[in-house]
């Protein structure tokens, strides 16, 4: 038998990972406690990996486990710091799996391992600025303290942090983080690589939240812009964390759509191969607790991201929430109106109704996409037009909030102006 790691789910040992050796992957076997507590067929860790007695081989677990880790150059930096090979998912999870996205923690089998004692290293404003400035070479704050063992998917330099009042800290040894901090990425000249990104993402999330608050099905993470020694950053509340009735922080499980589909690709390449919005809709129709609500939320999400000009809605920026057997789509996250940047790609990460480019997208494409999921045309039309109408009403309110709350940026005017034009072209007549 190979080397093993334990998978814990909200403080319960539910599975074991067994290294497949040189391949860097791992098989997964559910523990007897998981079979007893949840029963065979329960979608505990992934809809593709329901609880069962038989082992899941590494070929079937690869997409899920790799989705727990960052991508490309950030993954390489993780590997370098842990002194393991970049493709060794098993060892990377050993090093950084104590605070992952969702409800799972990956730990060594030694229950006496004192390194599992959680804690927080609270940072002064100067220390926070130093950790942020080190992100290009030390992603997720791995240089902040020896006990940083957190992981999060994606490419952008970010920190998982604990926020308590005005204090911000780095979680240590598996302490559950509460927020994600995304500092604006700087060029060598000290300028923002993507101007106004913190303000733009905050606006995108606020707009989607406003549509949900006004009666829509969509939800979005709470977000605000903070100043990090003169550098802007987005501070977003984690939707996969919540406090229980006693005030203790609990993890809520989630998996992104690439994990749920069992694929590595996050951008659509053609009309026939995953990831496609049709694949997401099928996942929701089959697995969601209330499929009609989930499909409405997906259509609103697609419509609103298109209207505000977010071309980067890919398979890892859409996710399933698996909350004690209740399955649906997560609140929106990573919502950036990328179209305001002249040098950003205007090709959609996921095609809508067969259309691959934002500037050519029309209401008929949204309608065609929705009906391909099996949604009736009159219902799809109402959902699309209602979402666009509510967004139009929310634009000036959110724009004004940026001024009042002092996170204004000139590009926010472009978001408003461009969105109004797209809202008109995306309406279904």
> What are the sequence ranges of the domains in the chain?
4-107, 252-426
Return d(Cα 64, Cα 319) in angstroms, integer.
Answer: 12
Structure tokens at 207: 């707009």
Return d(Cα 291, Cα 217) in angstroms, integer.
Answer: 12
The whole-number pLDDT of residue 287 equals 96
Comparing 4-8, 49-53, 115-119, 221-225, which segment has the lowest mean pLDDT?
115-119
Which comes out higher in pLDDT, residue 352 or 250?
352
Return d(Cα 220, Cα 225) in angstroms, integer.
Answer: 15
DSSP conformation letters of 289-311: SSHHHHHHHHHHHHHHHHHHT--
127-156: average pLDDT: 67
Return d(Cα 5, Cα 65) in angstroms, integer.
Answer: 12
Residue 56 is classified by DSSP as: B
* Architecture of the structural domain at 252-426: Orthogonal Bundle (1.10)
pLDDT > 70: percent of the chain: 94
**Predicted confidence band of residue 139 (pLDDT cuts 50, 70, 90):** low
Q: Is 268 exposed, middle or buried (0-12, 13-18, 19+ CB in 10 A)?
A: buried
Averaged confidence pLDDT in the chain: 92
Return d(Cα 424, Cα 355) in angstroms, integer.
Answer: 17
Other Cβ atoms less than 10 A from the Cβ of 321: the count is: 21
**Predicted confidence band of residue 79 (pLDDT cuts 50, 70, 90):** confident
418-429: average pLDDT: 97
Which comes out higher in pLDDT, residue 308 or 155?
308
The whole-number pLDDT of residue 148 equals 54
pLDDT digits (tens, 9 = 90+) for 288-319: 999 999 999 999 999 999 999 999 999 999 99
Q: Is the pLDDT of residue 1 over 70?
A: no
Return d(Cα 373, Cα 247) in angstroms, integer.
Answer: 41
Q: How far, in whole angstroms, is CA 408 from its chain's centroid? A: 25
Q: Is the pLDDT of residue 150 over 70?
A: no
**Predicted confidence band of residue 335 (pLDDT cuts 50, 70, 90):** very high
Report yes or no: 159 and 131 within 8 Å, Cβ to Cβ.
yes
69-83: average pLDDT: 85
51-77: average pLDDT: 92
pLDDT digits (tens, 9 = 90+) for 204-253: 999 999 999 999 999 998 999 999 999 999 999 999 998 888 878 889 99
**Predicted confidence band of residue 145 (pLDDT cuts 50, 70, 90):** low
The whole-number pLDDT of residue 23 equals 81
The whole-number pLDDT of residue 74 equals 82
pTM greater than 0.75: yes
pLDDT > 90: percent of the chain: 76
Structure tokens at 22: 């040189």
Report yes or no: 192 and 186 within 8 Å, Cβ to Cβ.
yes
**Buried/exposed code over 122-154 (b: 16+ C-beta within 10 A; e: otherwise):** ebeeeebbebbeebeebbbbbebbebbbbbbbb
The whole-number pLDDT of residue 405 equals 97
Q: Is the pLDDT of residue 63 over 60?
A: yes
Return d(Cα 132, Cα 136) in angstroms, integer.
Answer: 8
- Show Cβ contacts of residue 188 under 8 Å, excluding neighbours closer than 6 positions: none
The whole-number pLDDT of residue 114 equals 45
Q: What three-state secondary structure class fits 334?
A: coil
**Predicted confidence band of residue 152 (pLDDT cuts 50, 70, 90):** low
Closest Cα to residue 5, out of 96, 86, 71? 96
The whole-number pLDDT of residue 336 equals 97
Residue 226 is classified by DSSP as: E
**Predicted confidence band of residue 351 (pLDDT cuts 50, 70, 90):** very high
Residue 264 is classified by DSSP as: S
The whole-number pLDDT of residue 367 equals 98
Q: Is the pLDDT of residue 157 over 80?
A: no
pLDDT digits (tens, 9 = 90+) for 243-293: 888 878 889 999 999 999 999 999 999 999 999 999 999 999 999 999 999
**Predicted confidence band of residue 2 (pLDDT cuts 50, 70, 90):** low
Longest dimension (CA), the chain: 65
Which runs of E-coded beta strand occur in 263-354? 319-323, 326-329, 347-352
- Show Cβ contacts of residue 315 under 8 Å, excluding neighbours closer than 6 positions: 256, 257, 258, 261, 263, 265, 266, 267, 274, 275, 280, 349, 350
Comparing 82-96, 369-383, 403-417, which segment has the lowest mean pLDDT?
82-96
The whole-number pLDDT of residue 246 equals 82
64-81: average pLDDT: 87
392-410: average pLDDT: 98
Which comes out higher in pLDDT, residue 81 or 120?
120
The whole-number pLDDT of residue 151 equals 55
Crossing angle of the two packed helices 89-96 and 58-66, in degrees rounded to 10: 50
The whole-number pLDDT of residue 112 equals 45
């Amino acid at each position: 038998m190979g080397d093993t790691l334990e998978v814990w789910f909200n403080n319960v040992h539910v599975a074991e990972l067994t290294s497949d050796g040189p391949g860097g992957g791992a098989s997964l076997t559910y523990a007897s406690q998981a079979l007893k507590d949840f029963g065979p067929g329960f979608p505990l860790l992934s809809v593709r990996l329901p609880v069962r007695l038989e082992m899941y081989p590494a070929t079937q677990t690869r997409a899920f486990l790799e989705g727990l880790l960052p991508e490309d150059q950030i993954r390489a930096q993780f590997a370098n710091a842990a002194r393991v090979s970049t493709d060794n998912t098993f060892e990377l999870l050993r090093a950084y799996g104590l605070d992952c996205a969702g409800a799972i923690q990956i730990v060594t089998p030694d229950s006496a391992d004192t390194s599992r004692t959680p804690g927080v290293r609270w940072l002064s404003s100067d220390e926070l600025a130093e950790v942020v400035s080190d992100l290009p070479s030390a992603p997720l704050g791995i240089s902040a303290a020896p006990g940083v063992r957190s992981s999060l998917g994606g490419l952008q330099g970010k920190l998982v942090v604990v926020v308590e009042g005005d204090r911000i800290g780095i979680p240590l040894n598996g302490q559950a983080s509460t927020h994600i901090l995304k500092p604006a990425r700087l060029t060598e000249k000290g300028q923002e690589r993507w101007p106004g990104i913190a303000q733009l993402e905050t606006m995108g999330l606020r707009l989607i939240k406003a549509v949900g608050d006004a009666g829509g099905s969509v939800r979005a993470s709470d977000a605000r812009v903070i100043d990090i020694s003169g550098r802007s950053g987005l501070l977003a509340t984690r939707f996969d964390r919540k406090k229980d009735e006693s005030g203790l922080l609990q993890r809520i499980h989630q998996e992104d759509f690439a994990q749920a589909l069992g694929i590595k690709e996050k951008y659509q390449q053609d009309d026939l191969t995953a990831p496609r919005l049709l694949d997401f809709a099928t996942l929701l129709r089959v697995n969601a607790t209330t499929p009609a609500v989930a499909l409405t939320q997906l259509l609103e999400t697609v419509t609103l991201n298109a209207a505000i000009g977010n071309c980067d809605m890919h398979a890892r920026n859409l996710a399933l929430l698996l909350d004690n057997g209740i399955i649906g789509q997560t609140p929106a996250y990573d919502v950036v109106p990328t179209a305001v940047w002249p040098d950003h790609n205007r090709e959609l990460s996921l095609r809508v109704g067969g259309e691959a480019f934002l500037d050519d997208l029309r209401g008929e494409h949204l309608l065609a996409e929705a009906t391909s999921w099996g949604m009736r045309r009159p219902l799809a039309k109402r959902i699309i037009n209602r979402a666009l109408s509510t967004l139009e009403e929310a634009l000036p309110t959110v724009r004004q909030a940026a001024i009042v709350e002092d996170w204004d940026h000139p590009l926010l005017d472009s978001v408003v102006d461009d969105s109004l034009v797209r809202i008109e072209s995306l309406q279904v007549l």
